[in-house]
Chain A
C-alpha cells in the first residue's frame, strides 16, 4: 500500500479521526490563542477577583481578576511547546545513545549499553524530579529534566529496532561492500526505524504534557509570570472550594491534550504495525459466477470423504472484494492420497484452510457444497467443527513449531486431544500419546513425550504433529506444505510416514505442496491450481506423459531434474501469475500461455472431464505428443514481463 494511503487511513477510524481533530484544535489554539485572547488574559480587574463562573467569565476569574478561560486557552502554547521541545530532546538524545553502540568501538559500545540499561531501570518521573533539582527551578530546567528522563526508553527502543534491522541481509550486503558503519546507520538503519520512532514520540508527547503539568503543579516547573496548565491547576486548586471551575478548566485541558497525543500515537502505531484494516469492513454480497453450470458431481458418491463444489474464498480490500479462490471443485475418496500443486498465490493453502473452516474473518468462504464425512461444513455449528478438528480431520502445517504450545510438554499436548474428544483418563491418554509417538517412529518415545517442543528437531516436530493428528483416528489428513521447511532427507522420512499412516489407517491425505515432484512421488492424483482455480486434475501416473493443460506442461518443463540437459538454458514461464485483484476476464494463464487464442482471453474455460479421472480447464488442451516450447531467456536485451513469445513444436 502506498505510504500516503496508509497514513490517510488513520483518519478513517473513529478513534483516529477524533484524535486528529483534537490535536488540530490544540495546535490551532497554541498558535492563535495569544493573539485572540492575550489582552483579556492580562486584564487585571481588582474589582472582580476570585469570581465564580459567569456569562462574562465562563470559568470565573483568578486572584487578580483575570479571566481563567482565556488564561487556560493561552497556556496551551507554553504547555504544548514545552512538551514538544522535551520530546525532541528525548528522542534526539535517545536515538544518539541507541545508535552509538553500532558505530563505537566495542568497549565504548558496552559502556553506553550499560548506562542505558541502568537508566531504563530508573523510574522516569523520579529521574525527571532529580534532574529538575539539578537543573534548577524553572521552565528550562524542567524541559531538560523531562527530555533527558525520556531518553533512556528511546535509546532502548532504538537499540532494539536497530538490532532487528541489523540482522537483515541488506545490511550484510552493504557491509560486504565496505560501506562504513556510520553510512550504514544513516542510509539503511535510521530510515527503517523512523516510522515507529515517530509514532512513539507522539505518544511520549502526551506523557510529557502530563509530566510538565505535574512539575509546574509541584512548583518546580514554570515560574510566574509565565504560566502553563500545571501552574493554573495549582492556582485553581488553592481555591477549589470557592471556584471549582478554575481548577476544572486546566485539568480538562491537560486531559484532552494528553489524550489527543496518546490516541493519535496509538492509532498511528496500529496503522504502522498493520493492525488496522484499511478500507470498509462491511462486505458486499458475494457475486455469483455468471457461468455456473452443472455441478461436477451430481451426488456425493459412496466412499467420498470430502466433497467440495464451487468453493470461493474472498477477502475485502480497499479496492473491493478479491477472490483468491474462485470456484474450486474436487472430491477426496477414502484412503486416497490427493496432491494439490501450485505456485504461491494460487490459492492452494486457502483451499485447504477453507475446507476445514479455518479461514479467519474478514475472509469469507462460500461454496455450493462443502461436505466432509457427511457433515455440511458451511452450515454446521461451530461446536461440531471444533469436534471434527483433531478427531476425524487432522491438520499438519508447514511450521509445526507454531502449532505446538511452546510452554507445554509434547506428550501432554498429544494426550489432551484424546482427553478432550474421547473422554479418556489422563493416564490412558498419556499412554496413547506415547504409543502414537512410537507409531510415527519418534525414537525413545517415552522420554521424548516429556520434552518440550523446542527440544525436538524440525523433522521430529513434524512427526509429533502427525502423531497428534493420529490420536483420534482421522479420516482425512490435510497436510499444508508439511515438508517445505525440512531437509530433503527428512522430507523423505515424513513423506514415507504419511504414506505408512495412509496404508495402516486408510486415512485419506490431502497434500498441498509447491513442489510438483514431491506430489508426483507421494500421491495418486494431483490437482494443479493456478490463480485460484483448478486448471487440471489427473492421476499422477499420467502427469509426465498425459498432462493436457499448458500450465501443467510448463511447470513440469521448468523444474530442473537430476537429468536435465545442462547445455540448454532452463525453461522459463514468462510473466508472473496475476494478483488476486487483477484476474483477467478470460483464462488467467492466457497472458503467459504460448497457445493462447482470442477465445482464451475472452472467456474462462470450465474444468471439464476430458476422460476418466482426468479433468482440464483449457480451450486448447495440449495433445498427447505435443511439446510446449518455452521461450529461452537471453541476456542480450531487456525483455518485458509477460511477453508471450513462444512457439509450439511437435504435432499440432
Chain B
C-alpha cells in the first residue's frame, strides 16, 4: 500500500508582507496504485505542491503523509521520486547516463559493482533503451530518450510514488506518445502511485484515474476523470475544457455571457473570497447579486467522489447560499 495524502498543505514563500502563498490549504489523497492528474495554469501552484512532496519546497502548514507517515521522516528511504519537465536540464551533462541512474540506487542495495551495473541495465531495458548505452552522455540522446532516462533514474530509487511534472511538454508530439505509453505501462506493471502534472488536459485524461484542477493555490474541482471532464461543475474547469484545442472543438467561438480578456489574477495579491471571482462567468461580474463570491471562499467538500469548490456550481440550486462558516 502506498497512499499519498496532502492534508491541509500550505506552501508559503517570503515574508509575511511580501510573501506568496503558492499552495493554500490543499487537501488531496492519491489512492494507492492510482494516477491523479493535476491540471491548472502556470502559477496555480501545481508544481510547488509536487516539489513539497519530495522536500524541495517548504511545507509551511499541514502535512504530507505516505500511508500515514509524514514524508519528511521518510527521507532516508526516498519512496517518492520525481520525473522533471525539462529533459535537457534534468540530467547532469557531464555524467554518463548509467552513472546518473546508479546514483539513485539506495546505498547497500547491491553489494558488488557488477550487480549495480546489471540493475542499471535492467532499468534501461525497462524504459526501452539499449543497456549498452549506459556509458553515453546525455548530449548524445534525443529529448524523448532523455525523458526515458529521467524515468529510469526515478525508478532506480525503488519508489512507491512517482511524481511526473510536465514530462512531455518539452517533447515533440511524435515522441510524446512513446513516453506516455511507457509511463503508463511501467506504473501499471510496478503498481506505482502517481501524481501526473500537466497543463495539457488531453494528456492528463489519457493517463489519469482522477483529476484535480488547481487555480491560484486552491483545488477547485476534484473527481474521477470522466466525471470531471464530462460533467465539469466549476466554471474554471469549464473554461479550461473549452480552451483545449481539439479536432471537434471551436476555439474561436465566443460565449457572450463570459467576461472576456480578463487578466489572470496576481498570485501575490489574490482576490478576496473565491479566487476565480474576477474572471468568473457565473460570478459577481455577470450576476452582481452574487456578493458571496467576493466575501467568502468556497470550500472543497470532503465527501468522496466528484467535489467542487464553488458557491454556485450546482445549477439546480438557485438560492443564494449563506456565507460559509467553518464548523471545525
Contacts and interface: CB of A to CB of B under 8 A. Distances in A.
Given A170-B100, A562-B201, A177 B94 contact: no
Interface string A516-531: 1110111000000000
Contacts of A566: 205-206
A474 B203 CA distance: 37
B173 A562 contact: no
A487 B199 contact: yes
B132 to A, nearest CB: 9
Contacts of A15: none
B264 A459 contact: yes
A324 to B, nearest CB: 16
A463 B242 CA distance: 21
Contacts of A441: 260-261
B84 A443 contact: no
B262 A443 contact: yes
A172 interface: yes
Interface in A492-527: 492-493, 495-497, 499, 514-518, 520-522
B263 A457 contact: yes
A492 B242 contact: yes
A490 interface: yes
A47 interface: no
A21 interface: no
Interface string A560-586: 111110100111110011000000000
Contact of B260 (A176, A488, A493, A520): A493
Interface stretch (A111-119, A287-295, A402-410, A633-641): A633-641
Nearest to A639: B128
B257 interface: no
A638 B174 contact: no
A497 B181 CA distance: 36
A280 interface: no
Contacts of B157: 177
Given A176-B78, A572-B181, A639-B128, A558 B56 contact: no
Contacts of A637: 125, 128
Contacts of B75: 178
B85 interface: yes
B126 A489 contact: no
Nearest to A484: B169
B194 to A, nearest CB: 15
Contacts of A344: 172
Given A176-B81, A178-B75, A633 B182 contact: yes
A172 B244 CA distance: 31
A169 B90 contact: yes
A518 B103 contact: no
A167 to B, nearest CB: 9
Interface in A456-497: 457-460, 463, 487-493, 495-497
A175 B103 CA distance: 11
B251 A492 contact: yes
A176 B240 contact: no
B54 A176 contact: yes
Contact of A488 (B94, B131, B142, B243): B243
A352 interface: no
Identify the interface centre among B85, B172, B254: most chain A CB within 10 Å of its CB: B172
Contacts of A573: 174-175, 177
Given A175-B56, A344-B172, A562-B244, A576 B144 contact: yes
B310 interface: no
A569 B181 contact: yes
A75 B256 CA distance: 86
Contacts of B241: 562
B317 interface: no
Contacts of B69: none
Interface string B125-165: 11011110000000000101100001001100100000000
Contact of A177 (B41, B104, B178): B104
Nearest to A513: B245
B229 A562 contact: yes
Contacts of B54: 176
Contacts of B51: 172
B269 interface: no
Contacts of B286: none
Interface stretch (A186-194, A314-322, A593-601): A186-194
B199 A488 contact: yes
Nearest to A463: B261
Contact of A495 (B128, B202, B252): B252
Contact of B251 (A495, A514, A516, A562): A495
B245 A635 contact: no
B176 interface: yes
B95 A187 contact: yes
A173 B174 contact: no
A240 interface: no
Contacts of B104: 173, 177
A174 interface: yes
B263 A633 contact: no
Interface in B228-270: 229, 239-252, 254, 260-264
A159 to B, nearest CB: 20
A641 B95 CA distance: 23
A173 B242 contact: no
A570 B185 CA distance: 11
Nearest to A516: B173
A572 B181 CA distance: 9
Contact of B81 (A177, A488, A572): A177
Contacts of A275: none
B263 A635 contact: no
A31 B131 CA distance: 48
Contact of A178 (B78, B93, B94): B78
Contact of A457 (B84, B128, B142, B264): B264
A496 B243 contact: no
Given A457-B264, A489-B239, 8 more contacts: A170-B92, A174-B103, A176-B56, A441-B261, A558-B173, A559-B173, A560-B203, A569-B181
Interface of B: 41-42, 51, 54-56, 75-76, 78, 80-82, 84-86, 89-95, 100, 103-104, 124-126, 128-131, 142, 144-145, 150, 153-154, 157, 172-178, 180-182, 184-186, 189, 199, 201-203, 205-206, 229, 239-252, 254, 260-264
29 contacts: A170-B89, A170-B92, A175-B55, A176-B81, A191-B95, A192-B93, A192-B94, A487-B264, A488-B201, A488-B244, A492-B243, A493-B261, A496-B252, A499-B252, A514-B173, A517-B247, A522-B251, A555-B173, A558-B176, A558-B177, A560-B203, A562-B202, A572-B175, A576-B175, A633-B181, A633-B182, A635-B182, A637-B125, A638-B129
